[in-house]
Amino acid sequence: MPDVDVFDALANPVRREILKKLRRGPKGVSDLASGFSLGRPAVSEHLQVLRRARLIREEPRGRERYYHLDPRPLKEVTTWLDAFERYAQDRLDDLGELLDREAGERR
């Protein structure tokens, strides 16, 4: 089991930004750190949180480590949001039925 909850990992905007960058392919720390005003050690710390949540994995290449996105834990989050969406769809169905009933009663 991952020792960092995927929600905790995603709760931070820097970590979400890192994941977005990694969607375009594996990157090294210096490359990842370039877009942030944070120092490289801070970025490394965020990377460790993402790694412990199993959202990324490390690959040593020469002197630098490269990071790959592993989107599998995100499935938990998307199904979570899907559930709210299904709920909303059901409410819109119910609203339609109510509107039809009310219109029928007014006729």
Partner 1 sequence: MTETPKIQLDRVYAHPPAAIWRALTTPELHAKWWAPGDVRAELGHRFELDMGAWGKQRCEVTAVEPERLFQYKYAIGVLDTLISWKLAPEGNGTRLTLIHEGFNLDTPMGKKAFEGMRPGWPGVMGAIERVLNG
The letter for the amino acid at 65 is R
Tokens of 100: 């039809």
Q: How far is the CB of 8 from partner 1 (least distance, A)?
A: 7
Indicate the residue among 32 and 60 with the shorter CB distance to partner 1.
32
Closer Cβ to partner 1, 62 or 84, answer by number = 84
- Closest approach of Cβ 103 to partner 1, in Å? 6
One DSSP character per residue, 40-84 reads HHHHHHHHHHHHHTTSEEEEEETTEEEEEE--TTHHHHHHHHHHH
Instruction: Note the residues at the interface with partner 1 (CB under 8 A).
Output: 7-8, 10-11, 13, 16-17, 19-20, 23, 71, 74-85, 88-89, 91-92, 94-100, 102-103
